Structure 1
Amino acid sequence: MRQGGTHLNPHIYEDIAPIVDHRHRSAHGGARIYQSDAFAPEETGRLFMANIHEHAVLSDVLQPSRSGFIASHGDEFMMAHNAQWVGFSMEIGPEGALYVLDWHDADICGGDVLDKDTGRIFRITPSESHAVEWDGRYGDLRQLSDLELAQLQESRSDWHARRARVILQHRASTRALDASALTHLNTLYETGATTPLRLRALWSLYITDNFSLESLSDALQDKQPYIRAWGVRLIAEQDTIDPEVLLTLEELAERENSPVVRKYLAAMLQRIPNDRRWPIIEALMNHPEDSEDPNIPTLLWTGFEPLVAEAPERALLLIEDANYYPKMAEFVGRRLVEAGHMSPLLAALHANRNEHLLRGMVGGLEGAGDIEAPEDWDRTYRRLRRKSETRALATTVAQLFGDAEAERALMSEVMNATLSPAQRIAALTALAPSQPDALREALFGLINDPNMRIASIQAVAAFNDPELGELLLSNYANATPSEKEAIIQTMASRPVYGWMLVESLHDGSIQRNEIPVWIARQMRRVVGSGFVEIWGPIDELPGDKAASYARYHTLVTSGMAADAANGQNVFAQACGACHQMNGVGGLIGPDLTGSNRTDVDYLLTNLIYPDEFIQDDYRMVLVTSRDGRTYVGTLVGESDRQVTLRPIGLKDVVLNRTEIQSLEVSEESLMPEDLLSVLSDQEIQDLFAYLRTAEASAQ
């Protein structure tokens, strides 16, 4: 499970999203779905989670939704009222109680164990248990007969059912199980009152090698979707799948009306030979209602993706009518570009003018550098331009191919004040990387258009032009805070602008405290020692870190009046470029909504010692292109051909590897050590007040 970073397969373009429908200040350690009888019946099926930062056990209510579930916030099941209580794992016991492992340490996120002898296990049970007692409930299950273990599959206590299955599996590895036990399990599978009971019987029979492949095939015809789904899953576990069974799976995919079963069919694609995947994929694609499912499209694409590169024409035929499955058409278009199959892609676009396929083509061409248009592009372009839904995308592709007419069309959109700001900005963003002279001249006027100002400032970074740098600096004094931030970031993008920013610091027209620390790091890379001379040491706390820690700790715990509302503004300026809080802010670093931000020591440790505990996904990456532009951010995607970078304060940038002069993955965190040093004492107080208030928690 990834918290961030790049996918293992560069051709998987989207992740499966979380199932929660809410935000909560939490980081979870361990989870367990309650399947026992001690607590009230309404707790059965609820997801219990240890919440590390709230020192609590929370619960979510799981509701079926499409092919999966939605998790809605339940209640604060148990509050520890102890700042060192750190729940990390859970189990349900034989009596139905919830057992929680408490790591119990003052440092809940670090690598050092400060208190090695304080770990505990808590047992949580209601004051009056609903559990039904029976002889042997707390005995050694290994002393039970095969039949008695089989009968435990009907227990409300999942603890007993699971352990009974383990014992049966062990016994079946050395001898045949008693016929009475098998009869009981087969009867439970055939006539069980609920699907969970039938599944327990199925699992018991399967793991003891008493459920044949023929029986698994029969399970595919069952009236209950989860029985059919598990039939698919267990068939997929075979080393090789019999061709006749594959035919049965193909027939199932054609007629299946449950999204749950279709999800399992999509997931199993990776387990079968490529040439046998086509019929199942085609059948699953004939369910347009799955196009917005949270799981099926990604699973389906994972199995489909290798086939697209192997057989592009067949893949295109499959998504010919894919307006009802737009995401798949987009993925196919992008994959074909990455595989170099431009001719069949253009033939398909000429025939059906599919905007989703064309959008995928745009995604595949991003960052491709100087590329020549395929010989059959012109006639396809003329046809795509005649359809309103594909006109803008086609113009973008043509511009990427260096088409002068397309460049003029985009320039016309930039200057057309009757269009929406979003359309004009999109045209400006598409044009800027090619640095056309017409756009350079237009920027001197566009910067005065309130709707285009920030986009124009950012577009200057694509050029290497001192006059444009002077334009930005001349507008700095009267700029809004967000405009000033954009100007400073643009001035830090290239040496020619960087030296101009150094001069502005020298003459006082821009103050040192107006330069974010992360920009200072970028300037060190862009300008070098010349910047360090005026700025001073970067990433070094003044004096001793321990002394700084003590000073800041005294400051924020002194009881001095603090303004949390202003702290939100400080957060936006100092932290918001990289971190989110309640859905607002950047995506470079971890989302702080769920962090342990009520703990002063936790906050100070991460602010003063940010390099001590860095996940690889959040290491600072510095990229300099061959034309001299520098980016600072994190890697979010890479392939043999491209690198996708998430720069601080900008949208994701796709760079062709041939255009990169240097790419450095730093051992440092993106967060500098001296972040607090640029803030006043009052700003620090306000920032901590905002971070620590309950009001900053989203519900």
Structure 2
Amino acid sequence: MFKKFTILSLLGFLLFSCEKKPAQLTDEEYSNLTDEQKRSSKHAVDGIILEDDRLELTLFASEPMMSNPTNMDIDDRGRIWIAEAYNYRNTLNPRNPTRAEGDRILIMEDTDGDGVADVSKVFYQGNDINAALGIAVFGDKVYVSVSPYVYVFTDADGDDIPEKKEILFQGVGGIQHDHGMHAFTFGPDGKFYFNYGNNGEGLHHADGSPIIDPLGRPVNNQTQPYKEGMVFRMNPDGSDTEILAWNFRNNYEVATDSYGRMWQSDNDDDGNRSTRINYVMDYGNYGFKDEFTGADWRSRRINIEDSVYLQHWHLNDPGVVPNLLQTYAGSPTGILIYEGKLLPEEYQNQMIHSDPGPNIVRAYPAVPSGAGFSAKIINLLDGNPRDNWFRPSDVTVAPDGSLFISDWYDPGVGGHAMGDLDRGRVYRLAPKDVDYNVVKPDYTSISSLITLLQNPNRATHFKSFMALVAKGNEAKDALEKLFTEGESRMRARAFWVLTKLPNGNDYIKTAATDTDENIRVAAIRAYRNNKMSDVSFLLEMAGDESAQVRREVALAIRYKSNPEVWLKLVEGYESGDRWYLEALGIAAEGFWDDYLPLYLADKEQNWMGNQAAKDIVWRSRSSNTSVLLGKIILSQPGRNNLSFYRAFDFQSPSSKNSTLKTLLATAPEEDQLIILRQIIFDPTSPDREVLDLAKKTAGSIADDRDFLDIVSKYGLTDQKVRLEKLIYQSENDQNSQKAADSYASLYGMEAVSLSINDKDQAKAITSIEKFGTIDNESMARLLATIYLDESKSVEVRTAAMDAAKGFNSEPYLWELAKADQIPADMIPIAQKILQSSWNGTIRAEANEKFGTASAKTTSDISKLITQKGDIEKGLMIANNYCLACHKIADKGIDFGPGLSEIGDKLSKEGLYNSIINPSEGMGFGYETQLVKMKDGTQFTCIVNSKTENDLVVKLIGTSEQKIYKLVDVESVTQLDESLMPKFPLSETELVDLVSYLETLRK
């Protein structure tokens, strides 16, 4: 009877297994679905293109079981843990309802084995975890990252109800901020790795004390060299927290491989096609802001790169670690190193990454290249061709080796806004016909632990690692067997456990002689973790044949003077290997005055004929580096010196100025302009020699931007003719505007008045249009003398009225409007300006005075998305409104986020919402800042950076940066209202505009 039952059951199972799952809809079938059907979970998989036909994508969980997953983890039982964000940025989204009980941490499980979650339980709920961005499950502890805190929940009895909640870290900047604290991951060395984005600001223990670096410096963005996004690691109990890398923008997650190497993605300033993938070299500066000044990447500098993505990360600067890969447009989030065997070979041991911006999941196979790596891109999942609401927020590996993807599912990608509250999905990606099956792990026997140690799931890896360490020498033989006979990465995993045993340092020395360079890399990293101090060992490893190993030796001598080791390492440097050069620089930090003279003495008089030696000088920071840079420049005249000139900016100001002034007397004439741009000049105590040269040189400067920089920097008043030419004839609007600003600053508003009141009407109108770009009250008053003067022609008055716009100009216009002083024929223009004002108060009061805009836009986005607009008319509307503050291709002003590929990033719904409700989705770095000066003046702007001495801002509608001395600034306050106004567009105009914006794709 039992045998008969077994056979029937097996037959039934086979019949069930042979049932074909529904094929994905064809393009035509999918296009015939209604929008409501496309958004339904029933067709979730149909909306995603699977690029590899050997794999199968299935829906594991969806609404109403869960919604809005920001981050995900999978425990050793195969259960999916989700951090939800229903209450995401609810203070900025007043239209969205709020879950009063707070956001949730969910556990979802498939209990009946059909590959679909049927149980969803709440592990924790509360307003203290609203919009958490990180969830990590390790044993009986759950780490939840929600700035300004990292919480640790303990569930000791395993009933999925935490007994306690503790603060691990606090003081991380940005409450409910996408650029704050992100998720934790387990490294093969037994440590936890984590990061925060550039709103993190600093890291503090639970008692409020700051994390301290090995030199006793607090780790925060006020301490040089630390700034912007950072990467950390710590012991599982929170001790020995280390700062590992810095100067990222929004490095959303960090991933480690079995050798202990770190990898992560990083987001650009929105819309600049500069997102990147990094191999994270310990103690590296990754170049988002200027290392010394903290200046924004847009700041003009010597040797600035030609393309935005190179400019964006200061990749030409000495002291910046190179990028592994550019992924261009995107909003990157979750990342992992896939070390399982279930997925096809090309994905094994490689990065897999989710990017909700372009609606894609990718793999990035990387291979060693010198001391660094090169990589390529393989697409796995792509929602953009069909469903651009697919927003993959995280990727995680299950114990069976399958890949799980969480889907925020929204018309936008966060950035402080959310268009859909109720949907959210989790998918499973695995080879076809491979069911989800997780065997209960056994952590008691050593043989089972050795198997579990090799599991690709981090939660399983963690528990087996800790259990094997606890067993100590009892597990030694089995670990040694895996270390001897296993595959490379699993050998490394065994090695890391062996280093925790009583004789662990012996295994480090054994691994250092291994034939596998990756095991030797792990050996050097373990040397650091075990806090070994054996210079003879490092000296021997400094001669390793592998640049990858030598890179690790360089990082191992950071903070400690080891001239013998460094000099041995520098022998292995080959010019062109930037990774190696930066590793040498990291190692020499604080010791350049010891190392560099010894290195150059060994080269005797021939070092300037050696490109590798010149590279070392370029990267160096010794007290004599400026003099050495000067010698190189004099020895090789020409434009190839730009990189060496830029290197002066990383030396002490006094040595830099001294050498540059010396070069003025001896450098080629073509270099004098470079020196004038670079030398430090104090207008209150001017150096007459430098000023005289500036006056002599200005007239012959070919590049208009250089000319304007020199005229402005040195306050030259003898270049009036060329300034006027630039104002009137320049094809570059930014140059024309800057020239007008300089002209007014140098010659005063009386000179401007003469131009705009020219007796020749055509000339007067042209002058009004050009000088009208000056946005201040003085210009507003000057324009008013024209449009208020009814004796002047309508054409001239209209031009003046049209030019009266601008954030700093409109308050004066509004005062005139409130006093009913604007002539009747000018009121329609004034009304349009005021009802479209960047100033929300003026806009609201103007609407009240004039009545709501005559063409009122509907807020019912669900109706708008069903309409098709006129793309050509939308282009004209974009030219009239968008280009005033956004770049589209090579047109427009680089003030707000770039729009060149906005059709890829936002769905139609997202585009409508960003226009109708701009304050709900301010991109980070583009928030409205109110600056109050000590003299009583105030203005709103975008703050690009705040350096030790300066506040660097962009004023509304300009791409140029303006610098204010911090001593003159009283306060900087972030406002909730976007600088982008709610334009008074009709419904038809809005539909046309969105129809055009949808076409802006890569």
Partner in structure 2 of residue 400 of structure 1? 681
Match of 1:497 in 2: 779
In structure 2, relative to structure 1, the CA distance for the partners of 1:106 and 1:636 (3 Å cut) is: closer
Cα deviation for residue 226 of structure 1 reads: 2.1
1:187 Cα offset (Å): 1.8
Per the TM alignment, residue 643 of structure 1 is displaced from its structure 2 partner at its CA by 3.6
| The one of 932, 949, 974 aligned to 1:641 | 949
428, 439, 453: which one aligns with 2:708 = 428
Question: For the structure 1 residues 268 and 563, does the alpha-carbon distance in structure 2 shift closer, same or farther, using more than 3 Å as the test?
Answer: farther
Deviation at 1:163, TM superposition (A): 2.2
Pair 1:78–1:523, CA change in 2 (3 A): closer
Write the distance in 2 (CA, Å) between the matches of 1:667 and 1:326.
Answer: 48
Q: 1:96 aligns to what SS in structure 2?
A: coil
* Preserved contact between residue 508 and residue 526 of structure 2 (Cα < 8 Å): yes
Instruction: Note if contact 1:556-1:688 (Cα within 8 Å) is conserved in structure 2.
Output: no
The equivalent position to 1:147 in structure 2, one of 447, 468, 479, is 447
Residue 58 (1) aligns with residue 384 (2): no
Map 1:140-219 onto structure 2 (within 5 A): 140-143=440-443, 145-151=445-451, 158-159=456-457, 163-164=460-461, 166-173=463-470, 175-188=472-485, 192=486, 194-206=487-499, 208-209=500-501, 212-219=504-511
Out of 988, 994, 999, the position equivalent to 1:688 is: 994
2:518 corresponds to 1:226: yes
221-230 or 311-320, which deviates more: 311-320
Question: Which letter does structure 1 place at the counterpart of 2:993?
Answer: L
Asked if 1:260 is matched to 2:548, the reply is yes
Counterpart secondary structure, 1:618: coil
Paired position in structure 2 for 1:455? 735
Deviation at residue 326 of structure 1 after TM alignment: 7.3
Q: Which amino acid aligns with 2:517?
A: P
Normalised by the size of structure 2, how large is the TM-score?
0.53
Distance verdict in 2 for CA 1:128–1:305, change over 3 Å: same
Deviation at 1:458, TM superposition (A): 0.9
- Deviation digits for residues 532-575 of structure 1 (CA, Å, limit 9, x no counterpart): 87653632464799x966357488546354115x6456546534
For 2:910, the aligned partner's letter is Y
- Give the Cα–Cα distance (whole angstroms) in 2 for the partners of residues 625 and 278 of structure 1: 53
1:72 equivalent in alignment to 2:377: yes
Paired with 2:733 and 2:970, the residues of 1 have a C-alpha distance of 31
Q: How does 1:508-527 map to 2 (within 5 A)?
A: 508-510=797-799, 520-523=806-809
For residues 59 and 48 of structure 1, what CA distance do their matches in structure 2 show? 6
Separation of aligned partners in 2, 1:412 and 1:221: 64
**Separation of aligned partners in 2, 1:623 and 1:302:** 37
Aligned to 1:574: 881
Partner of 1:235: 527
Q: Deviations over 1:246-285 (max 9, x none)?
A: 45335544x3554534554455555x33x34795388459
Give distance in 2, aligned partners of 1:106 and 1:289: 47
CA distance in 2, matches of 1:458, 1:509: 24
* Paired letter, 1:415: G
Encode CA deviations 1:626-656: one digit per residue, 9 max, x unaligned.
9999986533433323344455533445555
Q: Distance in 2 between matches of 1:477 and 1:286?
A: 71
Question: Any idea what the Cα deviations from partners look like across 1:53-106, whole Å, max 9, x if unmatched?
Answer: 56x552234232631343425243578966765433322223332222344567
Structure 1 residues 510, 210: closer, same or farther in 2, change over 3 A?
farther
Which of 343, 348, 351 pairs up with 1:44?
348
Distance 1:455 1:618, change over 3 A: closer
Q: Which amino acid aligns with 2:708?
A: L
Q: TM-score, normalised by structure 1?
A: 0.73
Q: Post-superposition shift, 1:438?
A: 1.0
Deviation at 1:407, TM superposition (A): 4.0
The answer to whether the 8 A contact 1:50-1:87 is kept is: yes
How far apart are residue 169 of structure 1 and its match?
2.1
Aligned pair in 2 of structure 1 residues 548, 102: CA closer, same or farther (>3 Å)? farther
Match for 1:170: what amino acid? A
Unaligned runs of 5+ in 1: none
- Offset, 1:688: 0.9
Distance 1:372 1:496 in 2: 42
- Equivalent residues of 1:19, 1:71 under 8 A apart: no
The code of the aligned residue for 2:881 comes to A
Rate the CA distance shift 1:615–1:600 in 2: closer, same or farther, 3 A.
closer
Q: Distance in 2 between matches of 1:488 and 1:177?
A: 81
The whole-number CA distance in structure 2 between the counterparts of 1:628 and 1:429 is 29
Matched-pair contact (CA < 8 Å) for 1:250–1:279: yes
Amino acid across the alignment from 2:867:
G
Q: SS of the residue aligned with 1:209?
A: coil
Quote the offset at 1:394 in angstroms: 2.7
**Residues 168 and 378 of structure 1, relative CA distance in 2, 3 Å threshold:** closer
Deviations 1:651-694 (A, max 9, x none): 44555545x456634314553232x22x566653343112223x
Bigger proportion of residues as strand: 2
- CA deviations on 1:379-429 (whole Å, 9 max, x unpaired) are 45313x3x357433233456826344544544454433xx6x42x541331
Equivalent residue in structure 2 for 1:248, among 513, 529, 537 = 537
Aligned to 2:73: none
Contact 2:496 2:526 survives alignment (8 Å): no
Q: Tell me if 1:99 matches 2:401.
A: no
Alignment match, 2:250: none
Alpha-carbon contact 2:538-2:565 (below 8 Å) kept: no
The residue matched to 2:342 in structure 1 has which SS? coil
Identity of aligned residues (%): 14
Q: CA-atom RMSD, angstroms?
A: 5.1
C-alpha displacement at 1:432, in angstroms?
1.6
* SS of alignment partner, residue 548 of structure 2: helix
Read off the aligned partner of 1:359 and give its amino acid letter.
R
* Separation (CA, whole Å) in 2 of partners of 1:501 and 1:64: 62
Distance 1:649 1:277 in 2: 50
After superposition, the Cα gap between the structure-2 partners of 1:86 and 1:425, relative to the gap in structure 1 and judged at 3 Å, is closer
Task: State the one-letter code of the partner of 1:426.
Answer: D
Name the CA distance, whole Å, in 1 between partners of 2:857 and 2:958: 29
Aligned residues: 643
Structure 1 Cα separation of the partners of residues 474 and 693 of structure 2: 77
Aligned partner of 2:979 in structure 1 is 671
Distance 1:500 1:60, change over 3 A: farther
Aligned to 1:466: 749
The letter for the 1-side match of 2:393 is F
Q: Is the 8 A contact 1:147 1:184 kept in 2?
A: no
Rounded Cα–Cα distance in structure 2 between residues aligned with 1:651 and 1:363: 24
Match in the other structure for 2:395: 90
* Unaligned stretches of 5+ residues in structure 2: 1-195, 202-220, 222-226, 229-246, 248-289, 295-313, 315-319, 635-640, 790-796, 820-829
Match 1:359 to one of 624, 627, 646: 646
CA contact (8 A) 2:563 2:594 kept: no
Q: Decide whether the 8 Å contact of 2:756 with 2:767 is kept in 1.
A: no
Are 2:432 and 1:127 equivalent residues in the alignment? yes
Question: Are the equivalent residues in 2 in contact too, given 1:633–1:645 (CA < 8 A)?
Answer: yes
Cα pair distance change 1:361/1:148, threshold 3 Å: same
C-alpha distance in structure 1 between counterparts of 2:818 and 2:582, whole Å: 47
SS at match of 2:375: strand
Alpha carbons 2:727, 2:770 under 8 Å: kept: no
- For the residues of structure 2 that align with 1:477 and 1:689, how far apart are their CA atoms? 39
Q: Read off the aligned partner of 2:710 and give its amino acid letter.
A: A
What letter corresponds to residue 492 of structure 2 in structure 1? L
Query: How far does residue 184 in structure 1 lie from its aligned partner after superposition?
Result: 1.3
Check conservation: 2:338, 2:349, Cα contact below 8 A.
Answer: yes
Q: Residue 168 and residue 452 in structure 1: after superposition, are their counterparts in 2 closer, same or farther (change >3 A)?
A: closer
> Kindly tell me: are residues 591 and 509 of structure 1, through their superposed partners in 2, closer, same or farther at Cα, counting changes over 3 Å?
closer
